Amino acid sequence: MTKQISIYSDGGSRGNPGPAAFAFVVIKNREMIHKVSRYLGKTTNNVAEYKGAREAMRWIQKNKEEVKGYEIDLYFDSQLVVKQLTGEYKIKDKKLIPLASEIKKMEKDIDNKIFYHFVRREKNKLPDELLNEKLDAVLSK
């Protein structure tokens, strides 16, 4: 049986561009072992999605020993991000190219098999809730 870690990531902005945040959660053996949410300032929804993906990859790099021998499934509710990271779509937005390049470089440096998946928004609720909580907290100050 393959050992797997699932990472659910989401990014969003209120307005496009507008105040933005991302969040991701790491699930190992059906248990959440890590979660992150971060405010980004004013940016686009797609940039927020990519920054969430990049931070998830950084978490994988920092936790190489903990994830050694695991396949890693990254889930996004953005078809654009998934199809661009898998090479199905070209990246035309100049703001996204360096983020995608950084993610692909990290992917090559990680020993694990990494897979990108699209999931419907209702399957990605926890990171969505976390990023919206972060936005609410920052914007209510």
Answer yes or no: are the C-beta atoms of 79 and 118 closer than 8 Å. Answer: yes
Show the domain range for 58.
4-139
Distance CA 108, CA 141 (A): 41
- DSSP SS3 for 3: coil
Q: What is the pLDDT of residues 93-139, one digit of tens each?
A: 999 999 999 999 999 999 999 999 999 999 999 999 999 999 999 99
Residue 32, token pair as written in the block: 């959440």
Dihedral, CA of residue 95, residue 97, residue 102 and residue 103, to nearest 10? 100
Number of domains in the chain: 1
Q: What is the pLDDT of residues 44-86, one digit of tens each?
A: 999 999 999 999 999 999 999 999 999 999 999 999 999 999 9
Give the CATH number for residue 64: 3.30.420.10
